[in-house]
């Protein structure tokens, strides 16, 4: 059995918690995680002088090409935090200990089989690159599948100058969500690993629009009203997905800058909620004619949308509670929010930063907020948390109530009155260590 002493990821702070980092609340001792935490607790920290004289060790070329303010796109550690004391050249006749910093050119292995990559090649730190391989090996996933940097960020807990802790259950959920969204066969792990946060709606059709042709009349938060091209508006309906992408003729790629979901259509205009993206799609020779035609938009064929894994991309970029309206002039009725069919108890929390207030949910609010402190590149404070018997329903209600104040994703521009109102909801249940 786990001792449940509540070790933090770096193994330093010991607190009596209901859920600890070593066993992740299971109560079953996890020797592998305890070993990583012990290594992290004994890790060495490089001095500023060591950092400024460090040349990248065995990754000199990549290290020299990275800007001073570079961060790993997955774990968000910077160049200094990635430095780690380890055994160098262990297979050589004369191995020795010293400072190292591993970097890898990371790409989607699925593209090697002719499938369009789900994400662009990026430089990842050694620990994040290893996390992808470890998760696939542990969960028996296909070798040609690759987690995107954003997906890796969701199942690793990073420690500066140390080793990552991996949440394999979370990695399983992410993989199942990608497979389900792309209408691919169910993986060997079964339904219990299906992602709980998949969008409650289904995109009925995906359309590409050239950003140079898009006409936006008004913007508010993450939404805008588009008025052109006129013939595009005439084809739109609520729950249509828009892919704003320019054609790169030199590299034969469609480069995506935004994803959008149509919320409402009224005569000559449509209300769209947006999420910024940076990815690309490589059409086959037959599909290139659609990207290079004079008409600035087209609809993706179902098989092409599946090959591009658009359902997974939209599920990642948009919340499950988007307020759709009927596509009739003058209609203002919003999609009703209903309680979950299988309610699950958990916490709804408020996290504050200089960029807004995040309304989120978690069964383990302490672990979730601690992960934010590691991953987010700006300081945060936990403003409030409360227990709800149906925490998914409670979060959806709040997201819809403050939809007009949504900045992006789960971040909102809430007033102090809004925060005070939310603090009156739910049950105040104390969590040790918060």
Average pLDDT over residues 207-229: 83
Residue 164: both structure tokens together? 């990552």
Asked if residue 312 and residue 402 are part of one domain, the reply reads: no
Q: Compute the average pLDDT of residues 88-115.
A: 83
Instruction: Tell me the mean pLDDT in the region 47-67.
Output: 87
Establish if 141 belongs to a structural domain.
Answer: yes
Q: Are residues 189 and 101 in the same domain?
A: yes
How many residues comprise the chain? Answer: 434
pLDDT of residue 202: 79
pLDDT over 80 (residue 40): yes
As a whole number of angstroms, the distance between CA 157 and CA 164 comes to 6
pLDDT band at 422 (very low <50, low <70, confident <90, very high): very high
pLDDT digits (tens, 9 = 90+) for 122-176: 999 999 999 999 999 999 988 889 999 989 988 888 889 999 989 888 888 888 8
pLDDT bucket at 90, cuts 50 / 70 / 90 = confident
Sign of CA dihedral 188, 194, 195, 198: positive
Same domain, 141 and 262: no
Strands 411-412, 406-408: pairing is: antiparallel
pTM of the model: 0.42
Higher-confidence residue: 285 or 349? Answer: 349
Q: Show Cβ contacts of residue 133 under 8 Å, excluding neighbours closer than 6 positions.
A: none
pLDDT of amino acid 17: 36
Max mean pLDDT range (69-83, 169-183, 189-203, 212-226): 69-83
Q: Which residues contact 239 (CB under 8 A, 6 or more apart)?
A: 201, 202, 203, 204, 261, 262, 324
- Note whether 358 and 410 are within 8 A (CB): yes
Q: Mean per-residue pLDDT for 74-101?
A: 87
How far apart are the C-alpha atoms of 327 and 335, rounded to whole Å? 12
Instruction: Count up the domains in the chain and report the number.
Output: 4
State which of 193, 217, 247 marks the end of a domain: 193
| 4 and 105 share one domain | no
Phi-psi region of 373 (alpha: psi -120 to 50; beta: other; left: phi over 0): alpha
Q: Regarding predicted confidence, which is higher, 219 or 257?
A: 257
Return left, alpha or beta for 139; rule: phi > 0 is left, psi -120 to 50 is alpha, else beta: alpha
- Domain check: are 118 and 214 in the same one? no
Confidence of residue 190 (pLDDT cuts 50, 70, 90): very low
Is there a domain that residue 121 lies in? yes
Q: For 77, phi and psi rounded to 5 degrees? A: -75, 145
Mean pLDDT computed over 276-284:
85
pLDDT per residue as tens digits for the range 315-338:
777 776 676 765 444 443 444 566
Identify whether 330 is part of a domain. no
Q: How confident is the model at residue 96 (pLDDT cuts 50, 70, 90)?
A: confident
Q: Are strands 223-228 and 215-220 parallel, antiparallel or unpaired?
A: antiparallel
Whether residue 385 sits in one domain with residue 302? no
296 and 414 assigned to the same domain: no
- Cβ–Cβ < 8 Å for 292, 247: yes
Long-range pairs for 104-107: beta carbons < 8 A, 24 or more residues apart: 104/129, 105/62, 106/132, 106/146, 106/149, 107/146
Q: Greater confidence, 132 or 9?
A: 132
Domain match, 114 and 228 both: no
Ranking 67-71, 126-130, 133-137, 290-294 by mean pLDDT, the lowest is 67-71
Looking at the chain, the whole-number percentage of residues with pLDDT higher than 70 is 79
220 token code pair: 């508010």
* Final residue belonging to a domain, choices 279, 299, 317: 317
Domain, as residue range, for 369: 346-422
What's the pLDDT at 337? 62
The answer to the question of residue 328 being in a domain is no
431 located within any domain: no
Question: Of 308, 248, 292, 213, which Cα lies nearest the Cα of 300?
Answer: 308
Q: 338 lies in a domain?
A: no
Q: What average pLDDT does the chain have?
A: 80
Q: Is 21 inside a domain boundary?
A: yes
Find tokens 């988007």 and name the residue.
322
pLDDT of residue 374: 55
Contacts of residue 409, defined as CB under 8 A and 6 or more positions apart, other chains included, come to 275, 317, 319
Q: Is 185 helix (H, G, I), strand (E, B) or coil?
A: coil
Judge if 185 and 221 occupy the same domain.
no
Distances (CA, A) of 219 to 222, 225, 237, 271, 428: 7, 7, 19, 10, 37
Which of 56-70, 183-197, 414-428 is predicted with the least confidence, judged by mean pLDDT? 183-197
pLDDT given at position 377: 61
When pLDDT is averaged across residues 382-411 and rounded to a whole number, the result is 85
* 153 plus 228 within the same structural domain: no
Question: Within a 13 Å sphere around the CA of 211, how many CA atoms are in the beta-carbon half?
Answer: 14
Kindly indicate the confidence band of residue 222, based on its pLDDT and cuts at 50, 70 and 90.
Answer: low
Select the more confidently predicted residue: 111 or 130: 130
pLDDT of residue 385: 92
**Region class of 367: left (phi > 0), else alpha (psi between -120 and 50), else beta:** alpha
Q: Minimum mean pLDDT among 190-194, 247-251, 331-335: which range? A: 190-194
Residues 8 and 144 in one domain: no
At 331-374, the pLDDT tens digits run: 434 445 667 667 888 889 998 888 789 898 888 878 777 766 65
Residue 171 and residue 17: Cα distance in Å, rounded? 24
pLDDT at 23 > cutoff 90: no
β pairing state of 356-362 and 411-412: antiparallel
Task: Tell me whether residue 323 is in a domain.
Answer: no
* Alpha helix stretches (DSSP H) within 117-243: 126-139, 149-153, 168-181, 230-233
> Tokens standing for 11?
């193994």
Same domain, 165 and 225: no
What are the tens digits of pLDDT across the range 250-269?
A: 888 899 989 999 988 887 88
**Judging by beta carbons within 10 Å of its beta carbon (0-12, 13-18, 19+), is residue 159 exposed, middle or buried?**
buried
Q: Angle CA(292)–CA(263)–CA(265) in degrees, nearest 5?
A: 75
Q: Using CA atoms, how far apart are residues 273 and 263, in angstroms rounded to an integer? A: 7
Whole-number Å distance between alpha carbons of 31 and 33: 6
């Amino acid at each position: 059995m786990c001792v449940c002493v509540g070790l933090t990821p770096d193994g330093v702070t010991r607190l009596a918690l209901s859920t600890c980092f070593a066993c992740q609340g299971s109560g079953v001792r996890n020797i592998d995680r305890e070993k990583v935490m012990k290594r992290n607790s004994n890790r060495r920290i490089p001095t500023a002088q060591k950092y400024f004289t460090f040349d990248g060790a065995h990754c000199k070329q990549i290290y020299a090409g990275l800007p001073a303010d570079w961060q790993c796109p997955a774990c968000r550690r910077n160049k200094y935090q990635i430095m780690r004391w380890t055994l160098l050249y262990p297979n050589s006749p004369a191995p020795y200990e010293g400072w190292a910093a591993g970097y890898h050119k990371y790409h989607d292995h699925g593209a090697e089989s002719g499938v369009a990559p789900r994400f662009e090649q990026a430089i990842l730190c050694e620990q994040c690159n290893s996390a992808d391989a470890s998760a696939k090996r542990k969960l028996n996933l296909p070798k040609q599948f690759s987690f995107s940097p954003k997906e890796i960020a969701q199942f690793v807990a990073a420690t500066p100058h140390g080793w990552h802790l991996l949440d394999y259950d979370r990695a399983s959920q992410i993989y199942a969500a990608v497979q389900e969204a792309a209408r691919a066969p169910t993986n060997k792990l079964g339904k219990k690993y299906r992602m709980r946060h998949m969008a409650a709606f289904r995109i009925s059709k995906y359309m590409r629009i050239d950003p140079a042709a898009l006409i936006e009349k008004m913007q508010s938060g993450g939404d805008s009203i588009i008025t052109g091209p006129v013939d595009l508006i005439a084809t739109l309906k609520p729950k249509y997905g828009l892919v704003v992408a320019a054609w790169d003729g030199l590299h034969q790629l469609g480069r995506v800058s935004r994803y959008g979901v149509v919320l409402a259509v009224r005569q000559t205009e449509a209300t769209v909620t947006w999420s910024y993206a940076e990815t690309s799609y490589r059409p086959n020779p037959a599909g290139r004619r659609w990207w290079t035609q004079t008409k600035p938009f087209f609809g993706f064929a179902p098989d092409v949308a599946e090959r591009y894994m658009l359902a997974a991309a939209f599920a990642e970029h948009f919340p499950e509670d988007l307020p759709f309206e009927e596509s009739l002039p003058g209609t203002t009725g919003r999609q009703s929010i209903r309680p979950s069919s299988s309610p699950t108890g958990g916490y709804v929390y408020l996290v504050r930063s200089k960029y807004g207030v995040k309304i989120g949910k978690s069964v383990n609010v302490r672990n979730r907020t601690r992960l934010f402190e590691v991953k987010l590149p700006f300081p945060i404070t936990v403003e409030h948390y409360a227990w709800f018997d149906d925490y998914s329903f409670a979060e959806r209600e709040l997201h819809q109530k403050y939809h007009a104040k949504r900045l992006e994703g789960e971040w909102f521009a809430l007033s102090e009155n809004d925060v005070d109102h939310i603090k009156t909801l739910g049950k105040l249940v104390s969590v040790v260590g918060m």
